[in-house]
């Protein structure tokens, strides 16, 4: 059974401005998402499911899905504030979406096979998709048998400001914790640093694994996820800015012993448009990848 690619495309790029998911960065106006779909296809994925906002649907079908017709099967699901489990009602003053793991839950009825979750606006690279496709394509004979691609932090930095990354702790190749570090940057000596919860500057080795939200799950994840989302709502439904992130759920399942998450290494270099100043560099990188023959021009031939 071929795995499915599940793309989280419901967010707006607040720091970058505009719908960066639709920004044409490749030589023929390709979006970052187009490269993810292309890399996933050649790695052996069989279907792509997108989670978007309902008010974005028409634009999305015209500008995005039309490209993939006849190339790979696609499906769209919607994230909305009122898409909550039975018995829960969205507070009237809530305006912030419920977070990445709520977005994942929206795929429950559309996905019945092992699947990878990615952000729409991150370039993950060919190797990352090959590594996770291989892992998702093997036999899974128990619940909670998950994985993630651990990017080397040195391959995920921008020169234009700080980045937020989930810094991973591992033991025997399995994830033990993900700690979200919100301001990782280069210091004047070009070391990779962040400030910890005690206000102390810490250094990260360039090969430290970090989560770039490239996760691999089997469909039983939806049931665990829904259960934990209800626990989250019981605690935080009336906290306007509370969000239910994938690492929160994963952390609970690891600590309860219900899941293991294998951390897969990749030498792929991440890039994305975190800041508008990143854009020219990303355009240049895509041009270079096409020139080297890593990608065909145009990307999709009908």
CATH code reported for the domain at 4-149+210-263+273-291: 3.90.550.10
Predicted local confidence at residue 20, as pLDDT: 54
Is it the case that residue 34 has pLDDT exceeding 50? yes
Is it the case that residue 146 has pLDDT exceeding 80? yes
pTM listed for this prediction: 0.93
Give the torsion sign (CA, 271, 152, 243, 199).
negative
14-18, 84-88, 178-182, 217-221: segment of lowest average pLDDT: 14-18
Is it the case that residue 46 has pLDDT exceeding 70? yes
Cβ neighbour number for residue 298 with a 10 Å cutoff? 15
Mind listing the pLDDT tens digit for each residue in 66-100? 999 999 999 999 999 999 999 999 999 999 899 99
Mind listing the pLDDT tens digit for each residue in 117-130? 999 989 999 999 99
End-to-end CA, the chain = 25
Burial of 9 (0-12, 13-18, 19+ CB in 10 A): buried
Predicted local confidence at residue 12, as pLDDT: 43
Mind listing the pLDDT tens digit for each residue in 189-241? 999 999 988 999 999 999 999 999 999 999 999 999 999 999 999 999 999 99
12-16, 29-33, 79-83: segment of lowest average pLDDT: 12-16
Decide which of 159 and 45 is more confident. Answer: 45
Contact 261, 168 (CB under 8 A): no
Confidence class for position 17, pLDDT limits 50, 70, 90: very low
Q: What is the mean pLDDT of residues 161-168?
A: 90
Confidence class for position 19, pLDDT limits 50, 70, 90: low
Residue found by looking up tokens 């990303």 in the block: 282
Q: What is the mean pLDDT of residues 278-288?
A: 94
Q: What is the mean pLDDT of residues 240-260?
A: 94
**Tokens found for residue 19:** 């719908």
- Is cis: bond before 298, omega within 30 of 0? yes
What value does the mean pLDDT of the chain take?
92
**% of the chain at pLDDT higher than 70:** 96
Mind listing the pLDDT tens digit for each residue in 53-69? 888 888 888 888 999 99
- 3-state SS, the chain, equals CCCEEEEECCCCCCCCCCCHHHCCCCCCCCCHHHHHHHHHHHHCCCEEEEEECHHHHHHHHHHHHHHHCCCCCEEEEECCCCCCCCCCCCCCCCCCCCCHHHHHHCCCCCCCCCEEEEECCEECCHHHHHHHHHHHCCCCCCCCEEEEEEEEHHHCCCCCCCEEEEEEEEECCEEEEEEEEEEEEECCCCCEEEECCCCCEEEECCCCEEEEEEEEECCCHHHHHHHHHHHHHHHHCCCCCCCCCHHHHHHHHHHHCCCEEEEEECCCCCEECCCHHHHHHHHHHHHHHHHCCCCCCCCCCC
């Amino acid at each position: 059974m071929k795995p499915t690619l599940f793309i989280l495309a419901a967010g707006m790029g607040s720091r970058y401005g505009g719908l960066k998911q639709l920004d044409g960065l490749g030589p023929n106006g390709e979006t970052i998402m187009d490269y993810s779909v292309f890399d996933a296809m050649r790695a052996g994925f069989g279907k792509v499911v997108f989670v978007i906002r309902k008010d974005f649907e028409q634009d999305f079908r015209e500008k995005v899905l039309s490209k993939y017709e006849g190339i790979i099967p696609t499906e769209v699901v919607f994230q909305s504030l009122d898409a909550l489990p039975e018995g829960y009602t969205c507070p009237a003053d809530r305006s912030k979406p419920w977070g990445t793991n709520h977005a994942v839950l929206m795929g429950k009825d559309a996905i019945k096979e092992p699947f990878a979750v990615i952000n729409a606006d991150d370039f993950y690279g060919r190797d990352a998709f090959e590594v996770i496709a291989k892992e998702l394509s093997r036999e899974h004979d128990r619940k909670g048998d998950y994985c993630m691609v651990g990017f080397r932090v040195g391959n995920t930095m921008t020169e234009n400001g700080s980045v937020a990354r989930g810094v991973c702790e591992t033991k025997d190749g399995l994830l033990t914790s993900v700690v979200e570090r919100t301001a990782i940057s280069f210091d004047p000596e070009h070391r990779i640093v962040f400030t910890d919860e005690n206000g102390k500057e810490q250094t990260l080795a360039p090969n430290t694994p970090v989560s770039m939200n490239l996760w691999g799950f089997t469909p039983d994840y939806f049931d665990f996820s829904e259960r934990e989302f209800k626990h989250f709502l019981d605690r935080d439904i009336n906290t306007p800015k509370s969000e239910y992130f994938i690492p929160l759920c994963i952390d609970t399942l690891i600590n309860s012993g219900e899941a293991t998450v294998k951390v897969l290494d990749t030498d792929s270099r991440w890039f994305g448009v975190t800041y508008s100043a990143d854009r020219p560099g990303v355009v240049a990188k895509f041009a270079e990848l096409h020139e080297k023959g890593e990608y065909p021009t145009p990307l999709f031939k009908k």
